[in-house]
Structure 1
Amino acid sequence: MADIRNDGQSRVDIEHAELLGGDINLQIHSNLYWKSGPSMHEGAAFDNSAGIGVASRKSFVPSVGQGEEVAGLYVFTVSTPFSIEGRTNYLLPMFRPRVTIERFALISKYFSTAGASNGKAQRSYRLLSDRFLSKGNCVIREYDRLVGETSLPNLAAKNSYDFSIGEDADVVYKENVTLISSQALSSVSSSYHGTQGQIKTTYNVNLYIKSYKNRPFKLEYQQHVHASSVKLIEPRTNFTLENSAVKYRTTLAANEEKVLSYKLEVVN
């Protein structure tokens, strides 16, 4: 939906207009629902809601054409004439994209050193649209209730986007990182920093996750590591290393507990 405002005193008649993607506010209303079936997964679809202009030259509301990419921006054409009275907002209905959204609990951490930590998972969502979506506010509704609001950037078609809207009090974790070994490597010469020595350190990570929910749900774990080199030692089946981040995905049953572990080699 495009929100166009006339801040002047007089009515403005518009014969033809073009809207740039970054200038359009996005308002999304969703209905998420739990689907029970063989795979027990969650899904959702939500459309842009249609608006009605406050004052129009015609009895019908003009629509916005499908956006076209021009020099990295999306341009939306309004070919039907319309009018906006002074000091009035005009809500112009746009396209209706097919948008799917997946809900999951996310444990996202940044690795530092040996020690213990604990916390709660984040209420997270993964959004995917079949069309370009302009940046704007996104209101999340589940079971006909408002559960959160966030701001979305410009999103390319068929490109997923993850975001979180707060803690999930029913999913807690405890993590303990133990130093196993530390070894000095041969010095590395650099034209900018001179001769530097690197250290290879091996850690054992023990992770405990507890769900207090009375239903199954999807869970994702991410441990981000900033280092010259990162390696999983004795890789476990469910743990993967993607772009210097250790990741784990699973579905937790109601009130389930999980105890996990992996070994990590870090070079700095």
Structure 2
Amino acid sequence: MSYLTRALNWSPRYTLNIVGKGAAARAELSALADIRNGTDQVVQAPATELFAGDVRLGQSQPSFDEDSLRGNAGSVSSALSVGNIVSQGELGGLYRFALTQPLTLPAKSIVTLPFLKPVLTSFQAFSRLNTGFQPNDAEGTLQRAYRLKADQRLPAGVVSVLEEDRLTGQASISELAKNTEFILELGADPDVRYTRTVVIQNVQRGILGGGSRTYRVTYTLRNEQAQPRRAEVREEIYGAQVVLNGKNAERSATAVLRFDLPAGGSLSQSYTVELPQ
């Protein structure tokens, strides 16, 4: 590898532009590539490849955990204006992209280029709660979230979410294969609240001690928004033996409750779990 390889690195950043609200929301995803020259020298490269993935160099060299850039020294490029970045497919588990024009980076500079324009094959706005089982009542708010899939591989980066052209949150994504579902969680959703109640339905005593308890867990979700809202509750349950809604599981199980909340309305759902005591 040349010195230029070790001097440069790059990272993508995404924009998720959302139009509409609630279940009717639609979205577009786009990406820019930030190419950084952290040295005190001008870097010139007539041919440049971007590698996305886990790029590890030798112990005496820097390591770029997610992305690396390779540049070949050559003639001077007259301006920072460059063409599109095009995909070159996969190489040894890494994904390659190429610049279609020469690249010049001044010392200590960042050049930002249009990168990807993936098509979202699925998009869903919803409220979300991920929690663990506890045998006691609780209440609180859900989280604002978006569930997505894209029609092409996405390098790791930060996603900025815009609603009505206003920044409403940011979240990081790891590298994702084509049509891999991912979820962006952007913070509390004060308009979707929950009440959780727990009732002991049955207690079984073992002949030699031990035994089990069966709990009925009920979630009541209320939507204060003026439009319908999808919501999802996931509870992770752990135990030597878990019986969730009558089905046995070893050591762990996940209770999943999905809601289509009406505007200004509420819904309740329950599950049962038997755990050793």
TM-score, length of structure 2 as denominator length: 0.71
Structure 1 residue 228 displacement after superposition: 3.2
Q: Does 1:176 align with 2:197?
A: yes
**Residue 26 (structure 1) aligned with residue 9 (structure 2):** no
Q: What is the CA-CA distance between 1:124 and the residue it aligns to?
A: 0.9
Q: Is 1:265 the counterpart of 2:251 in the alignment?
A: no
Q: Per the alignment, do residues 67 and 129 of structure 1 end up closer, same or farther by CA in structure 2, a change over 3 Å counting?
A: farther
- Per-residue deviation, 1:76: 2.1
Aligned 8 A contact 2:32 2:113 in 1: no
Find the counterpart in structure 2 of residue 121 from structure 1.
142
Which structure is higher in strand share? 2
CA displacement at 1:144 relative to structure 2:
1.2
Q: Distance in 2 between matches of 1:184 and 1:71?
A: 57
Q: What is the alpha-carbon distance in structure 2 between the residues aligned to residue 70 and residue 257 of structure 1?
A: 51
Q: Residue 31 and residue 95 in structure 1: after superposition, are their counterparts in 2 closer, same or farther (change >3 A)?
A: closer
Q: Greater shift after overlay, 84-93 or 57-66?
A: 57-66
Q: How does 1:61-100 map to 2 (within 5 A)?
A: 61-78=82-99, 80-99=101-120
Distance verdict in 2 for CA 1:50–1:150, change over 3 Å: closer
Q: Look up the match of 2:260.
A: 251
Q: Deviations over 1:57-84 (max 9, x none)?
A: 2565133221522333222233632222
CA distance in 1, matches of 2:269, 2:15: 38
Counterpart among 41, 63, 77 of residue 57 in structure 1: 77
8 A contact 2:242–2:253 mirrored in 1: yes
Q: Secondary structure at the match of 2:25?
A: strand
Give secondary structure in 2 for the equivalent of 1:65: strand
Decide whether aligned partners of structure 1 residues 264 and 82 sit closer, same or farther in structure 2, where only a CA change above 3 A counts: same
Counterpart for residue 200 of structure 1: 212
Displacement of 1:160: 0.7
Q: CA deviation at 1:171?
A: 0.9
Gaps of 5+ in 1: 1-13, 188-196, 236-242
Q: Is the 8 A contact 1:116 1:176 kept in 2?
A: yes
Aligned mates of 2:99, 2:270 — CA distance in 1? 57
Percent identical among aligned pairs is 25
Which residue of structure 1 lines up, in the alignment, with residue 124 of structure 2? 102
**Structure 2 residue identity aligned to 1:137:** V
Q: Distance in 1 between matches of 2:193 and 2:162?
A: 24
Report the CA distance between 1:141 and its aligned residue.
Answer: 0.4
CA drift of 1:140 comes to: 0.4
Q: CA RMSD in A?
A: 3.3
Distance 1:170 1:80, change over 3 A: same
- Would the alpha carbon gap of residues 184 and 156 (structure 1) be closer, same or farther in structure 2, given more than 3 Å must change? farther
Q: Is the 8 A contact 2:35 2:110 kept in 1?
A: no
Equivalent residues of 1:52, 1:61 under 8 A apart? no
- Cα distance change, pair 183–211 in 1 and its aligned pair in 2 (3 A): same
Query: Partner residue of 1:230?
Result: 242
Deviation at 1:48, TM superposition (A): 2.0
Aligned length: 230
Q: Which amino acid aligns with 2:77?
A: R
Deviation at residue 41 of structure 1 after TM alignment: 3.4
Which residue does 1:193 correspond to in 2? none
**Secondary structure at the residue paired with 2:201?**
strand
- Mapped to 2, the partners of 1:257 and 1:102 lie a distance apart of 20
